[in-house]
Amino acid sequence: MQLSRPPIQPIAPAILDALPNPPLPEAVCPRRTRQQLDLMLLAIEALDLGGAEAMLTAAKELELQGVIKNRVSFWRLRATNPLRRYSQRRPLTLTEAKALVFMTCHLARRMTVLIRQMLLVYDQLLEKQLPLEQHIRLASYLERFRAHFRSRMNPKRTAVIAYNSDEKLDQLAMSLLGQLLFCTGAAGAQRYWSSLFDGEAS
């Protein structure tokens, strides 16, 4: 006889308690938080060819399967980004957001060398006033980021229309890359987490 299964409660791993719950009017993530979480992951995907796979592996390594069960549930979390083409009208809980923060920092830390190197190259190219396409690795990151952004974000959104040129998207990609570097630090997760709620706390 088959028993009716009780609804599965997401199990919050202990690791998530390291991040304090911010003082918010409601215990769900504000719009800017959801947007930033997804864009940072988008930047990781553009950095790493196997980024999407690595993210699911990272969820397992960090024992976050209670929150991020599979590719679909992961996609649903990311699609709470209001800029997405197929944006999900569901709230993103603080537990889910913490899981995404840890995943981002975990993956960014693995790519610390690459991120640093690309930021240094960026500085050099700007200094010499050379086009960013000069550096193959940097150019391919920017190109992939632009492609990802354009294919997944809703072009009718005002915030997306603002990124209507390659230059503006490149700037976004570079600032995300810099922010990813800050996630690699000793207090990276805490800093990133706190910054997600800047200007939102009550």
Partner 1 sequence: MMIQRQYSLPNCQLVIEGIGQEGADMSGRPPISVVTHVECHVAGHDRPLMGGRDLLEGLVKAVSAYAQEYLSGIPHPAAHLKHRGIPELVQLHRIDSNLHRLTVQPHINNPTGKEQEKLYQTPATPSAQLDLTTVQLFDMVEAVDQFFADTQTLPELSLNLTPLSKRYAAAQEPIAKRALPAALGLSGLTVAAIALFYVPNPPNRRPQPIATNPALTNPLASTTPTTSPTSATNASASPAASLDPASPDSTVADSTVVDSPSASPATDGTAIADPSSSSEIDAILSTAPEITDPGKLDEIIGTVQSKLYEGWMTKPPQSFTTNLEYRVGVAENGDILGFKFANDAALTYVKETPLLDLRYNPAGATPSPVPIAQLLVIFRPDGILEISPWNSPTEQPLP
Instruction: Say whether residue 10 binds partner 1 (CB under 8 A).
Output: no
Tell which one of 60, 85, 90, 137 touches partner 1 (CB under 8 A).
Answer: 85
Q: Say how many CA atoms lie within 13 Å of 43 toward its Cβ.
A: 29
State how far Cα 58 lies from the chain centre.
Answer: 13
Q: Is 112 exposed, middle or buried (0-12, 13-18, 19+ CB in 10 A)?
A: middle
Instruction: Say whether residue 181 binds partner 1 (CB under 8 A).
Output: yes
Minimum gap (Å) between residue 5 Cβ and partner 1? 11
Q: How far is CA 87 from CA 27, 36, 57, 167, in A?
A: 20, 14, 24, 25
CA distance 25 to 37: 20
Q: Of 19-48, which residues contact partner 1 (CB under 8 A)?
A: 22-23, 45
Q: Is 15 exposed, middle or buried (0-12, 13-18, 19+ CB in 10 A)?
A: middle
Tell which one of 11, 130, 147, 161 touches partner 1 (CB under 8 A).
Answer: 147
Instruction: Say whether residue 98 binds partner 1 (CB under 8 A).
Output: no
Instruction: Say whether residue 8 binds partner 1 (CB under 8 A).
Output: no
What residues are paired with 93 via a beta bridge? 28
CA distance 148 to 130: 25
Tell which one of 12, 109, 110, 143 touches partner 1 (CB under 8 A).
Answer: 143
* Cβ atoms 137, 54 nearer than 8 A: no
Judged by beta carbon, residue 12 or residue 52, the one nearer partner 1 is 52
Instruction: Say whether residue 195 binds partner 1 (CB under 8 A).
Output: yes
Instruction: Say whether residue 141 binds partner 1 (CB under 8 A).
Output: no
Tell me which stretch binds partner 1 (CB under 8 A): 10-18, 75-83, 100-108, 159-167. 75-83
Instruction: Say whether residue 194 binds partner 1 (CB under 8 A).
Output: yes
Instruction: Say whether residue 113 binds partner 1 (CB under 8 A).
Output: no
Q: What angle do CA 132, 135, 139 make, to 5 degrees?
A: 60
Instruction: Say whether residue 63 binds partner 1 (CB under 8 A).
Output: no
Write out the residues near partner 1 by the rule CB under 8 A: 22-23, 45, 49-53, 55, 70-72, 74-76, 78-79, 84-86, 116, 119-120, 122-123, 126, 143, 147-148, 150-152, 171, 174-175, 178-179, 181-182, 185-187, 190-192, 194-202
